[in-house]
Amino acid sequence: MDQKQIKNIVEAGLLAVGGPLSVDQLQGLFGTDADSIPEKTDIRDALTTLAEEYEGRGIQLLEVASGFRVQVRIELSEWISRLWLERPPRYSRALLETLSIIAYRQPVTRGEIEDVRGVAVSTNIVRTLLDRNWIRVLGFRDVPGKPSIYGTTREFLDYFGLKSLSDLPTLADISDLDNFNVELDLPDPDAHEYSVPGSEESSQESVASNQEQPVLEVDDDDDADRAEEAEMPAMDDQAIEPGTDDEDSSGELPDTGKA
């Protein structure tokens, strides 16, 4: 099979699947006959040729954590997004800050996230990130309470167009967050947060909320998340043992002084 035919099959497979495919998966498109299966180097040569052909066009070949995918160029999202009537999902600043801390400090527990942010982490935020399959439970820390340890997933890297965690912007690149907020006219993320006793001020290491993604919008109206975080104590996922107060457990009603 000549290289042009290999390139056409690879391109058709990437367009048909609508997602990333690894080199092994692309190799599987050619069947099980050893004589008809091209070498991995031939597959990679075809991918390189496609990437070069897509230069200057509306689509691009991008390598992410799960493999290679053909996608619309980010700079054209303003126009292409009009094809869909529904609005892209909006995520609160609190959720994006939590995701950023997990991405940069993983493996990390919920209590450690709260230490960085300075507020309790809403259960809904953690559940949303797990449901989106952006984070996963890596294990449990061997301390009292056995708190869950969180880390990011391949789906997280794929969604943000990253090949690996090393592709994340360095903290030096996003250290000037105050000026960034002023330029975008964003409200102060800590203006309405309530500090958890004993915790330090929120770190400026949250990054994902400042990354420009065409399908990712920051919802500044996240009062519900703020209120829930303010009501929740930072307990680092430790189990709560039932109380043993003798006065409350006696079962007797208090004397109100009335006959």
pTM above 0.75, yes or no: no
Domain 3-82 has CATH 1.10.10.10: yes
pLDDT higher than 60, residue 230: no
Over residues 163-177, the mean pLDDT reads 76
Query: CB of 46 within 8 A of CB of 10?
Result: yes
**Residue that is written with structure tokens 């070069």 in the block:** 52
Spatial CA neighbour of 189 closest among 218, 214, 167: 218
Q: What pLDDT does 124 receive?
A: 93
- Pick 188 or 62 by higher pLDDT: 62
Q: Quick one: fold of 90-231?
A: Arc Repressor Mutant, subunit A (1.10.10)
Give per-residue pLDDT as tens, 135-169.
999 999 999 999 999 999 999 999 998 999 988 88
Over residues 164-177, the mean pLDDT reads 74
Residue 87 DSSP class: P
pLDDT higher than 50, residue 187: no
Spatial CA neighbour of 228 closest among 126, 157, 129, 141: 126
Q: Can 3-82 and 90-231 be said to share one CATH topology?
A: yes
**What is the C-alpha to C-alpha distance for residues 151 and 143, in angstroms, rounded to an integer?**
18
Spatial CA neighbour of 234 closest among 151, 93, 122, 130: 122
Q: What pLDDT does 153 receive?
A: 95
Which of 5-9, 105-109, 199-203 is predicted least confidently? 199-203
- Give Cα separations from 114 to 98, 127, 166, 226 (angstroms): 9, 16, 24, 13
Backbone phi, psi, residue 77, to 5°:
-65, -30
- Pick 118 or 173 by higher pLDDT: 118
Write out 2-51 in H/E/C secondary structure. CHHHHHHHHHHHHHHHCCCECHHHHHHHHCCCCCCCCCHHHHHHHHHHHH
Query: CB of 206 within 8 A of CB of 218?
Result: no
Task: Give the start-to-end residue ranges of the domains of the chain.
Answer: 3-82, 90-231
Q: What pLDDT does 126 receive?
A: 94
Q: What pLDDT does 234 receive?
A: 45
